[in-house]
Structure 1
């Protein structure tokens, strides 16, 4: 692309070559009329006079403007003669840029080499100031320069085949061989414009100006500004439609995969294990091939070139049965031609645990809570003596100053590091790229972490009209979980208990009670979770992935192109979890031969994919036609085996074969899956005069996953667009740089569920046999009509750019209807089965998305700028239709007794509805909760039949706000995320205050806000009431949050001459942080299973 633009520039500026001494007479043949000019004048006076009398314009450095030149003879001659006579004798030179532009400069003295002059502009032909021009592979003060205020540069070069490298902030790097030329014109391509002008869908590329789909694209630079942990987190900070659903349990666990939704929830949660993956997970495409969320999370963020999110039917229908949840297309960096380039990126990251959401009592307060709750009170005198003794022992510990911060025991400031190196180069025919990565993430909980190592080799070769590309990627991952178990185990421990005995040794039993609430003579032991970290516990998973992607590109003719691809992926998985016999999990086992366990899992995966695509484009006058067609074939197989062995008498016997037997009640388990798909698509685009646009796509997919009567799925989309800014009545407004109205409608599908659901499935009897044969029994009925979940997408969008592109805005309204949700159909008992799988159920999602970019300030000459962006989104989902199986599921949910709101599926309600019984508050006279029945009566009795829709956990409005400042090489970025209008059930108040086990640590509000005596007006019930609190509207609270998602500061050291002199073309250092703070309307514990953490990172980027 750079070469094309450079050639255009040469044609447009008539710069096939420059002259270094004079200008050809056919270019400067114009003559001056006779003038009266003094014998001694300045250069500025002379050139201004010539500009007044001719159409020529001059550019020159101010340092020569006062230079005195001497004239002899008549001035009514050609401009060439005048300039040659007056300038060259005074040590000045001039060059022509086109027919009307002349550059004047001082001659560069050089004993060796030759002088090259050049002119650098952007795509709009505006000169670029401060562009770094470097003679590649040559070090020293004279091997580089920068363009002046008019975009000109002069450089002394040596050698037969010199290569010049041009670099500028916000533009693509460019290299060019100048041969024996003495002058050159260069056009640099803006990274932002390159992104804006092309839409990449993973199969082919399209001009965005003629595209009617809803997409969003982000460059590597934009992704890194909002975080450098992984591409998933950065993307969620840029695009509000790409949501990471809050997980208050997992916190910042580095081994927890995120729950992602793109434009809302389209599928039902996994109720009975029928889905292979999250049913709402988008499709991920990496360099043209489908990949997994795990591999995207582990991907080196510095390898990413661009990410494009496909949201509506017009943009994603070509993926047919896999695209209902949206598509995320990731492109990695391609090799650059030229001599060897080396880039190095380093991150040192600190994971600092954030425990500010916890509000636990201290040792003295906890003892008082126990006393008020009657823990140390009994009716039996003997038991009372035991309880009083325990109380006095605990009080003595408090008086001695024991106040253990148990939350601080398993956490750490985890220091991790990432190193990535990229090497690339090549010539016009052959390019190569090598990527290496080592990424060690140290978690905020001791013993936890994640290590990723790997590399990629890219080879590209072009021969005549053929292009060959091969990408080999090898990655290895090991994820280690903390041996200390869940973080909530530490939050339960009492602060007046110490983890160490009197000798300073770690003790296994932290505390004991003489009977729960004084009702038992049996001692209750509380075990120290720190104990498990020193006895040889193992808990890790790992995988090795090898992927090879090969493609051939054949440019048959200028308008016709054929591309073929083949990909093979082989992955092996392994998991190990060893708990020694001395682990606290086995403390209550009576049989010594059952203590200690080893859980082992192994899996392997093989994916094959091949496709061929044909692209055709033709412009006939004002008609522009683009056509694409493709065919693909894929096979996905995986096998998993697992078992649990028990009976490990010694912690050093930590190999599965050293166990005594399979775990009681278990046996060797396994599963296998094979899915084969075949399909094809056609896609066409028509544009008339770049004003009226039309898109159409159609895809057929056949899959082994579905019933015999529904093997083939049909998916299509159509879109229309109107470039209003091309119309004369809009041009007259002189306001819009772009005003585009677009709309699309179409169908896509989802097939994330297991491969065997459409088949009659059998299992074998393994505990007995008949005539040395195993009998079989049916475990699932076939459904020959099982098909894809189909999603209809309607999208209406508007793209606007104003004020010379200082302001840009994109707005999209969408409505999606998902039909054929995978669900259970209940059967009568006489059938022998409770249910079978069928496509019953409908979900509707509606929403609005908007993004506004504002260029507040920009100085082209020095590269300084100030930009701001604001994004906004809302989504509402409604369950339109359910099956009788879901009605049965609701009944079972209501039968269960729980203190957590259960999931219920009711037509007309949201999938995110919170169900609870309406509360009238705590009765001041009794300290009991008063409920309102559906009939309007007041009662103290909680009933599941009285539950109402108490709120929706989805926020009404959510999005991001970002600020980007660059000033004299310094760059500052800050990003905020907001979520307003949603509700949430405050489980912390239930578990740690109202239903709190007073033998464990509790929230401070237990002591301050519980009801104690008649007349107390409180939010919480009687402190002595141990009845379980059922779901009630009393704990449904508004959730409004403002989060500082990222903040960063960096400096470009390559601005310094000393840095460039040692051969570094880029050197940047920076500091950034993620999850800096959360301002929330709700006080709730975050990170109950694994603590939340703030991430702080030091970054070093270098390029040689």
Structure 2
């Protein structure tokens, strides 16, 4: 089990030299220059006064602390005389140990005392600060000590004190039998996870062993092992319930926020702008206060201490109306006492474009595709002459070697860098921490990137029973989009066209192409998107955020404490987009006075949050009781203004006031909102002998968002647990180190809606006035009964550890019902409105998730280990009930003519259902698609009424696997992701093969796999058929994926004596990579608007 090991030779020499020195060795010249305190005082008052004025420290028992003494008040003399005068005549004796430690004892308790010195480190040989050192058994079980900022401790023991117990949060307890040792060195072993002892929910902490909720928690070290880009990407590689929904369009765009779900989809998508954010987005809590996804993405990963995911009702119900989608609790590193520590972390990051999913034809192949499609054939002899000339020009370009790789033109290997610096330190009363960050992300597309400059100052002060904490954070972000526009503009250009003219200059018009076939055949201009990057195009956004969090903690007794917190956030946002008149988007604008545009937007946000929490903890024999009560209020206000000005004749005149007019049909626009909440909660936890567990929470929240009749929401949760491993009949098996059953049931809510939905909303007539007044008209009908979406969560879980905790397993089954989905209710025309908002609709989510890990070996002597892990999850959602407004929505969706399946909501089906008409394949005799109607007949005509549930884009199973290996200072980590059992609609087959516009570049399968003549057995229709192919089951494919999400190597240079001698406490270098590869059963283009990229990162971590 635990092990006592030798440390550095220097430490041992120092420890061995610490011996008891008689009191006459005290320097008699040392006198106290203090004021007269009078003659009446206690032993503790006298000794503390001496400690304040000298470097001496005293060790004494509580029994003598309050003993009165008589003293003449004369401090102007040597310390030995003061102690003799005040203590000896009261039956006390004192003895000096080492240089400045004095033990004070009653005469009859002073037999053969001794001092023990020690040094405590972790497995990485780093000193641990604040480790509790206690005597087990012996004459004085209350004697204890705490390690200092360098990991050293000193403790005075009696002759019978033989066993010391070391304890520290996140590490296994350790006991040492002293025998005759007076100096020891101890290594504490980290638990499997730093979060084994407590669960942090952002408001208070609970003992994990007695908690019944479903949570996952990850330390900074675990987060960094799977990626150092941002905490969001790392979380998705650690816990399968935290999903980043795949978006094949935006790829690795650094300026796009991810779409996140925690345990499935609980709300409908944004149908008509009623949501202020993603309706399925989890709640983010940073250092106890709500924050935004944008700020979490920009957060310095090296500031993070740990992150906890709250998944079920028992863990998240205290957040009530905001917790339906789960809660992500982020804690940053707190200042530590001791000498100032300086930490520096640096990353050099490379974004390398990944184009392996593209399979485009080359110049010669594209010309052949055009010929086979009849692109250069026409019945009109004059038109045929022009087409033949165009073909010959293109053929000449191909023969001369023109084969432009358009995909590569706007791309680069983006090289960015990040630097973070932290300084912290302090004493027992005051601690400080200063964080600085500069992060420059260079995107894979030229000109795109994201930069963050920020810092934080953390101050902590303790005075008696009070603790004051303040964190001031300032961040400035700038996000720049590529001036070349969307990546798809390049993917469609033909390879036999050069982007440069004969002089090597970028040309605006890439080529002339024949127009659509027909009697009115025309030549069409195709423009070169590279041109837009040379004319002063500008597209960026930025924000400046200032947040101050203040808290005060008052410990009234050892069992009762009160905590008050307040936070204020101010954020200014700006968007800026300038397109000069020469931009290709204005090429077809006839009026030159309307060319060029400037889009400008400004926004302000002001948030205030305040709360007070009372915590009570009491242990009575085998009964452990925890209670919490809190009250909070918040105010969120924001406003935004925007406009588009057009008419910029010169690219250098790039200021809004230099435009000629507002964009045609537009004017100055703006919006504002104000949301105020107030609420309170009660929470209790009870455990008997750490065997039988119970949790209960209740919360009330009032919000200005909802109707007059539903201002207050009520939410509760209850949980039960059973630590079976503490039962004697299980313990006798000798198999389980932990075996815990737990379950919970409760209700939470969601309020990610705009602030005005419950109110009657008006708009003003701005084009006409009457008697110098503006008239108003109603645009939305009030609903005084509008309330929160309410979600019921049921969770049953198992936690198990076996084989001396080498193997651990956590499994959770959950079921949730979301009631009162916000949706439209259709109204008759006589009402004056088409619809109004109401709580109609129900969704069910059901799933299972788990994690299993095994420590193959762990050599505590060398620090070498090998761990493997696997996570798994499965989720299914079902729409149980919809409103008539959604039925109307479905009808409108069916009227859409396109090649992409539309979103439809049908009771009994999944929200992720893929809708398409069942296909019987391509008729070999005609090259046309044959469909199966719902009545069983066959037809060549596509009809929306024949659509069926053709698949589900949710995977049946998904998760991660990986390993963590350390040997002689080298660390190797690798992680993989998998998803099996779902379907995908292959949009590439539609856009680049089946419905490919022959004007532009196409997938190579157009040339190889399209039907050409009667008798061809082909998956695709006639190559000469340009009719639109609408959603068909032919393109619904099974999706199975396996990907390498992360891989990393690290070497610990601080193992070297020369590095430690240079003053480094920590020095490591490493190489990491993310998004290494994806192996998929579906061949589809990934990253159509912005390419995907593999990320490589060179890291340096230093502490001194």
Q: TM-score scaled by structure 1?
A: 0.85
Deviations 1:513-540 (A, max 9, x none): 2432364353200000000000000000
Stretch moving more, 508-517 or 437-446: 508-517
Q: Taking structure 1 as reference, are residues 193 and 583 closer, same or farther at Cα in structure 2, changes over 3 Å only?
A: closer
Q: Taking structure 1 as reference, are residues 173 and 572 closer, same or farther at Cα in structure 2, changes over 3 Å only?
A: farther
Tell me what 2:923 maps to.
923
Deviations 1:907-928 (A, max 9, x none): 0000000000000000000000
Correspondence 1:946 to 2:946: yes
Tell me what 1:254 maps to.
254
Correspondence 1:901 to 2:901: yes
Q: Describe how 1:59-78 pairs up with structure 2 within 5 A.
A: none
Tell me what 1:437 maps to.
437
Correspondence 1:502 to 2:470: no
In the TM superposition, residue 196 of structure 1 has moved relative to its aligned partner by 1.1
In the TM superposition, residue 190 of structure 1 has moved relative to its aligned partner by 2.4
3-state DSSP of counterpart to 2:708: coil
Supply the distance in 2 between the matched residues of 1:170 and 1:548 (Cα, whole angstroms).
28
Q: Describe how 1:65-464 pairs up with structure 2 within 5 A.
A: 118=118, 120=120, 131-132=125-126, 163-164=150-151, 183=183, 188=188, 190=190, 192-464=192-464
In the TM superposition, residue 896 of structure 1 has moved relative to its aligned partner by 1.3
Supply the distance in 1 between the matched residues of 2:186 and 2:379 (Cα, whole angstroms).
94
In the TM superposition, residue 195 of structure 1 has moved relative to its aligned partner by 1.1
Tell me what 2:785 maps to.
785
Tell me what 2:92 maps to.
none
Tell me what 1:87 maps to.
none
Tell me what 2:575 maps to.
575
User: Does structure 2 retain, via aligned residues, the 8 Å contact 1:432–1:458?
Assistant: yes
Q: Taking structure 1 as reference, are residues 309 and 718 closer, same or farther at Cα in structure 2, changes over 3 Å only?
A: same
Correspondence 1:804 to 2:804: yes
User: Does structure 2 retain, via aligned residues, the 8 Å contact 1:843–1:880?
Assistant: yes
Deviations 1:653-686 (A, max 9, x none): 0000100000000000000000000000000011
3-state DSSP of counterpart to 1:813: strand
Deviations 1:871-911 (A, max 9, x none): 00000000000000000000000011111000000000000
3-state DSSP of counterpart to 1:652: coil
3-state DSSP of counterpart to 1:1078: strand
User: Does structure 1 retain, via aligned residues, the 8 Å contact 2:170–2:194?
Assistant: no
Tell me what 1:12 maps to.
none
3-state DSSP of counterpart to 1:516: coil
Supply the distance in 1 between the matched residues of 2:603 and 2:625 (Cα, whole angstroms).
48
In the TM superposition, residue 121 of structure 1 has moved relative to its aligned partner by 8.0
Q: Describe how 1:611-690 pairs up with structure 2 within 5 A.
A: 611-690=611-690
Supply the distance in 1 between the matched residues of 2:789 and 2:1048 (Cα, whole angstroms).
43
Q: Describe how 1:30-49 pairs up with structure 2 within 5 A.
A: none
Q: Describe how 1:504-519 pairs up with structure 2 within 5 A.
A: 504-517=504-517, 519=519
Supply the distance in 2 between the matched residues of 1:330 and 1:519 (Cα, whole angstroms).
66
User: Does structure 2 retain, via aligned residues, the 8 Å contact 1:196–1:217?
Assistant: no
Correspondence 1:1037 to 2:1031: no
Supply the distance in 2 between the matched residues of 1:703 and 1:904 (Cα, whole angstroms).
32
Tell me what 2:1067 maps to.
1067
Deviations 1:366-421 (A, max 9, x none): 00000010110001000000000000000000110100000000000000000000
Q: Taking structure 1 as reference, are residues 376 and 563 closer, same or farther at Cα in structure 2, changes over 3 Å only?
A: same
3-state DSSP of counterpart to 2:517: helix
Tell me what 2:140 maps to.
none
Deviations 1:161-206 (A, max 9, x none): 99447999997899xxxxxx97467574726454111000000000
In the TM superposition, residue 962 of structure 1 has moved relative to its aligned partner by 1.2
Correspondence 1:1003 to 2:1003: yes
Tell me what 2:721 maps to.
721
Supply the distance in 1 between the matched residues of 2:1070 and 2:588 (Cα, whole angstroms).
53
User: Does structure 2 retain, via aligned residues, the 8 Å contact 1:483–1:537?
Assistant: yes
Supply the distance in 1 between the matched residues of 2:167 and 2:257 (Cα, whole angstroms).
37
Tell me what 1:147 maps to.
none
Supply the distance in 1 between the matched residues of 2:657 and 2:359 (Cα, whole angstroms).
46
In the TM superposition, residue 697 of structure 1 has moved relative to its aligned partner by 0.1
Q: Taking structure 1 as reference, are residues 1052 and 383 closer, same or farther at Cα in structure 2, changes over 3 Å only?
A: same
Supply the distance in 2 between the matched residues of 1:697 and 1:187 (Cα, whole angstroms).
40
Q: Describe how 1:813-962 pairs up with structure 2 within 5 A.
A: 813-962=813-962
In the TM superposition, residue 116 of structure 1 has moved relative to its aligned partner by 8.6
In the TM superposition, residue 575 of structure 1 has moved relative to its aligned partner by 0.2
3-state DSSP of counterpart to 1:195: coil
Q: Taking structure 1 as reference, are residues 402 and 479 closer, same or farther at Cα in structure 2, changes over 3 Å only?
A: same
User: Does structure 2 retain, via aligned residues, the 8 Å contact 1:993–1:1003?
Assistant: yes
Tell me what 1:482 maps to.
482
Supply the distance in 1 between the matched residues of 2:731 and 2:252 (Cα, whole angstroms).
52
Correspondence 1:705 to 2:699: no
Q: TM-score scaled by structure 2?
A: 0.85
Supply the distance in 2 between the matched residues of 1:849 and 1:643 (Cα, whole angstroms).
47
3-state DSSP of counterpart to 1:265: coil
Stretch moving more, 165-174 or 967-976: 165-174
Supply the distance in 1 between the matched residues of 2:640 and 2:497 (Cα, whole angstroms).
44
Supply the distance in 1 between the matched residues of 2:167 and 2:412 (Cα, whole angstroms).
41
Q: Taking structure 1 as reference, are residues 172 and 1066 closer, same or farther at Cα in structure 2, changes over 3 Å only?
A: farther
Q: Taking structure 1 as reference, are residues 362 and 555 closer, same or farther at Cα in structure 2, changes over 3 Å only?
A: same
Q: Taking structure 1 as reference, are residues 1026 and 337 closer, same or farther at Cα in structure 2, changes over 3 Å only?
A: same
User: Does structure 2 retain, via aligned residues, the 8 Å contact 1:170–1:192?
Assistant: no
**How many residues are treated as equivalent by the alignment?**
963
Tell me what 1:44 maps to.
none
In the TM superposition, residue 303 of structure 1 has moved relative to its aligned partner by 0.3
Supply the distance in 2 between the matched residues of 1:351 and 1:559 (Cα, whole angstroms).
52
Deviations 1:607-654 (A, max 9, x none): 000000000011111111100000000000000000000000000000
3-state DSSP of counterpart to 1:552: strand
Supply the distance in 2 between the matched residues of 1:1043 and 1:169 (Cα, whole angstroms).
38
User: Does structure 1 retain, via aligned residues, the 8 Å contact 2:466–2:555?
Assistant: yes
User: Does structure 2 retain, via aligned residues, the 8 Å contact 1:362–1:495?
Assistant: yes
User: Does structure 2 retain, via aligned residues, the 8 Å contact 1:251–1:1088?
Assistant: yes
Deviations 1:431-475 (A, max 9, x none): 000000000000000000000010000000000000000000000
Supply the distance in 1 between the matched residues of 2:949 and 2:546 (Cα, whole angstroms).
49
3-state DSSP of counterpart to 1:871: strand
Q: Which runs of 5+ in 2 are unaligned?
A: 5-14, 23-114, 131-147, 154-165, 174-180
Supply the distance in 2 between the matched residues of 1:649 and 1:558 (Cα, whole angstroms).
74
Tell me what 1:94 maps to.
none
3-state DSSP of counterpart to 1:438: strand
In the TM superposition, residue 1021 of structure 1 has moved relative to its aligned partner by 0.3
3-state DSSP of counterpart to 1:258: coil
User: Does structure 1 retain, via aligned residues, the 8 Å contact 2:194–2:219?
Assistant: no
